[in-house]
Amino acid sequence: MIGLRPQRSFKRLRQALFSGRRPARLCFTAGNHVRLLKGGVQFFPALIERIDNARKSVSLETYIFANDDIGRAVSDALVRAAERGIKVRVITDGIGTESNLPMFKLWQERGVEHRIYNPHLLFGPQGWSRTHRKLALIDETYAFCGGINIVDDYDQNGTQLERPRWDFALEAHGPVVKDVREAFELQWQRIRLGVKPRQLAQPGCEPETRQSRWSARRAMLARRRARLGEIHAVDQPCVAFVARDNLLNRRAIEKAYLRAIAHAESEVLLANPYFMPGRRLRRALVQAAKRGVRVSLVIGRKEFVALDYATPFLYGNLLKHGVRISEYEKTILHGKVAVVDEDWATIGSSNLDALSLVLNNEANMVLVNHPEIAGLHDAILQAFDEGRPIDEKHYASRPVTERALSWLAYNTYRLMMKMITIGQYD
């Protein structure tokens, strides 16, 4: 483990996180044990082991649940749990996952409860959104959150990859698990009732009134004060779970990024496959670089062709202000991760584009002053070194046709996203 940043740096970041106006639902807790899992080779054995050892309940939410060797292995573990009398619930997305997988019939027969988020529809009962979250909850004791779908690491839309996807998940055990449970329960009831987030007051699903809203908010604030009081009492590692959807907490994950980058002192490392953030996040990265912060971006490629053309349009202004950029093509970069000053990190499902930041249901974990940050820090730096660096002079000398195509792709994407998000994407 490499050394953490000096206490001075951590205290400034901690004060920024816990004072003033905090990002919605970003509630830190201490006393959590977390484990960073790199790729499916570490994630799937850990997940299946937890499912096989479950005693009460298993809850799983994913965008993709594939009918491949990995998907069948996880499905078999879910079925084994249900046959032991464990309460097993699974949420899959109506577009990300095929609706007629053979395992779904088996689940129904063996007692695995399964619900589909917005089945077959871009705009359905839950509004214009998808669930892109990757969550698992075992016995309300262990929680998994990250960017890894239930799919073979070497499969990319039917094409066999030479190397496994570059991706991460986090296993957590401790107080933060309660927040993951609440998020899953809300999603489960939301799908059952066929309602949008704002129509559902609490997981109990009673009709929402002004009095119940105020009571719920007072209880939430009391919990936050208690948790923040515990964290202020002593400098220690802390963890927060942050979820967003297209009606509640729309900017929660983006605000978490913005606050951390705004208080960066020495380094910002960011890796993401879909890098098409709005002006606020781009401005935050530029301002950090102007302050002398070493800002390094690892951009994934060859997953979504339109973004391969559109994203480079953003490079010019970033490079001009000293932001370092590396395009990663060794394999599919699917991780959505960041590290700031080796004191702050996030791992989750949220890409940095309009769909993830404004439209989709997403979930991230945020770590502060935690030893597991060191491993993620090193992994992002290694990916940056293994990628193709973007040189400012070479970028400026691109052929006119390439620049025109990039301009067209970016503006087309931006126009489409502003229409889809009803002007929310900036």
User: The CATH number of the domain where 248 resides is what?
Assistant: 3.30.870.10
272 lies in some domain: yes
3-state helix, strand and coil shares in percent for the chain, rounded to the nearest 5: 40, 25, 35
Structural domain total, the chain: 1
Chain position carrying tokens 């390439």 = 402
Inter-CA distances, 161 with 333, 341, 391, Å: 12, 33, 28
For residues 40 and 125, the answer to whether their CB atoms sit within 8 Å is no
126 lies in some domain: yes
Nearest to 186 by CA among 424, 364, 361: 361
Distance, C-alpha 196 to centroid of its chain: 21
Mean pLDDT by 10 residues, the chain (426 residues): 42 47 66 96 98 98 96 98 98 92 94 91 71 96 97 88 95 96 93 60 39 50 47 69 79 91 96 92 96 97 87 95 96 97 95 82 95 97 97 92 95 84 69
pLDDT of residue 80: 98
pLDDT of residue 7: 45
∠ CA 322-370-15, rounded to 5°: 70
Residues belonging to the active site: 132, 134, 139, 334, 336, 341
Amino acid residing at 115: R
103 lies in some domain: yes
Backbone angles phi, psi at 143, to 5 degrees: -130, 140
pLDDT of residue 141: 96
pLDDT of residue 32: 96
425 lies in some domain: no
pLDDT of residue 247: 66
The enclosing H or E element of 221 equals helix 210-233
Domain containing 28: what range? Answer: 7-420
2 lies in some domain: no
Token pair of 336 as six digits: 């959505």
Backbone angles phi, psi at 125, to 5 degrees: -55, -30
DSSP 131: B
pLDDT of residue 194: 66
Is residue 73 exposed (0-12), middle (13-18) or buried (19+ Cβ within 10 Å)?
Answer: middle
The most distant pair of C-alpha atoms in the chain lies apart, rounded to whole Å, by 64
Query: For residues 99 and 111, what is the distance between their CA atoms, to the nearest angstrom?
Result: 18
The enclosing H or E element of 400 equals helix 400-420
